[in-house]
Amino acid sequence: MTGSKGKGTVTRHIAWNLQALGSVGLVLSPEELTHRDRLRIDNQPIDAATFERLWRDIARHQPRMNEAMDDTATGGRYLSPTGWFLSVGLAWFHERGVRWVVVEGGRGVRHDEIGQLDATLAVVTSVHGEHLKAIGPGLADVWDDKLSIARRARRLVLGQQVSAQAKALGRSLPRHAQVSRMPSTLGDGCVPAWLALDRQIAADAFATLAPGRPFHWFGSPSFTESRLGVRPAWIEPVVHADSLDEAFLRRLAREGISVVLGLPSDKDVARILARLRDAGLRDLAAFSLTSPVGHVESGWLAGHPDVVSLGPLDVVFPDVASARERLQAHAASRRGLYIIGVQVFTRTMRAVFGIHLGGPAPCPPNN
């Protein structure tokens, strides 16, 4: 699985549905709450003893992660951190004899160990501009990178947006591609349109693996609905304006919802703020993200005095209790919260809300 948005949702939905047909090994990127929960069999994370044993075994055959990323220095055997987790997961799945292996890739495919796996099925959910810096410089470069996952797969399922981009970019879809269309109705309205399409992609992908079998959908880590006291709250990872759903934003604006952001300065902050304001969401607040080594900072807040500062939040060692108190104080005079930002921020917010996404959860009714 790869894509700019929705790959985690599709990965989990396919894995959870496949459990009815046999044991399933699952590799997630990144983790939900701890590093070990990114590796699971039948949705149960790998235990610490097994993880450490397999990690040490791999270390005897591979260079250390902090060695130079230079094939001439490492004999062509360099493994990225993602590759180490993947190797531990595959070794564990082999030991346990799982029937299915479902893998969520990172932001890139062409130079990612996950992108080198042979597969029965590959999935591309969407392509946005959020990874231009890493695998650009242009959107066409990002598109080509993510679609390269098809070269090692017997079948390919991709979203309608990716298909439309192919024509605009002058690209041809692989001959074995199947395009998932946006559902004619968006169901009960409890999710944005992009998530409705992701669920359709997951259902279509599952149908290619298990024709005629029922498919079930449920809550998603890409979009979590919860409550803070008596007030509704929505949590969604967002780093690029194009991944926001305008119709859903306008619904939140009509309901008088406040937006809480957790964005570092190197993300698409200006366009995200503009998209929120254009939709009528003007009550904006933000945590100032920090880290012990300074790799994350939210200096953009200084240039937006209309965005209420909720204070600093260390994304590596977050003070969950303090974040909860500040969030509760902010929510006290508001009708609800729409919480968006980078993955490490939304992971902390799930801890604040006590949300664990280790398995299927029903989609709650609208508030």
Query: What is the distance of C-alpha 121 from the center of its chain?
Result: 19
Cα distance between residue 28 and residue 41, in whole Å: 11
Cα distance between residue 288 and residue 315, in whole Å: 10
Cα distance between residue 324 and residue 170, in whole Å: 48
Strand ranges, E, within 219-336: 224-228, 231-237, 258-262, 284-290, 308-314
Domain annotation for the chain: domains and CATH numbers: 7-209 (3.40.1190.10), 224-353 (3.90.190.20)
**CB atoms closer than 10 angstroms to residue 47:** 11
Q: What is the pLDDT at residue 365? A: 36
Write out the H or E segment, with its range, that includes residue 201: helix 193-209
- Gyration radius (Cα) of the chain, Å: 20
Note if the pTM is more than 0.85.
no
Q: Spell 204-241 as b/e; 16+ CB within 10 A means b.
A: bbbeebeeeeebebebbbbbbbbebeebbbbbbbbbbb
The CA-atom distances, in angstroms, between 224 and each of 201, 206, 236, 340, 343 are 19, 22, 7, 11, 13
Q: Are strands 284-290 and 177-180 parallel, antiparallel or unpaired?
A: unpaired
Q: Which residues contact 35 (CB under 8 A, 6 or more apart)?
A: 85
pLDDT, tens digit only, all 367 positions of the chain: 998 888 888 999 999 999 999 999 999 987 777 789 899 999 899 999 999 999 999 888 765 554 544 544 455 567 788 888 999 999 999 999 999 999 998 878 888 888 889 999 999 998 887 667 778 788 889 899 999 999 999 999 998 889 999 989 999 998 899 999 887 655 444 568 778 888 899 999 999 999 999 998 876 667 888 888 878 899 988 988 988 888 889 989 999 999 999 999 999 999 999 999 999 999 999 999 999 988 899 999 999 999 999 999 999 899 999 999 999 999 999 999 999 999 889 888 988 887 655 455 444 433 3
Q: What is the pLDDT at residue 135? A: 82
Helix extents (H) in 139-179: 139-147, 160-169
Residue with tokens 């012990």: 292
Residue with tokens 């080198």: 116
Q: Token pair of 204, please?
A: 């279509």
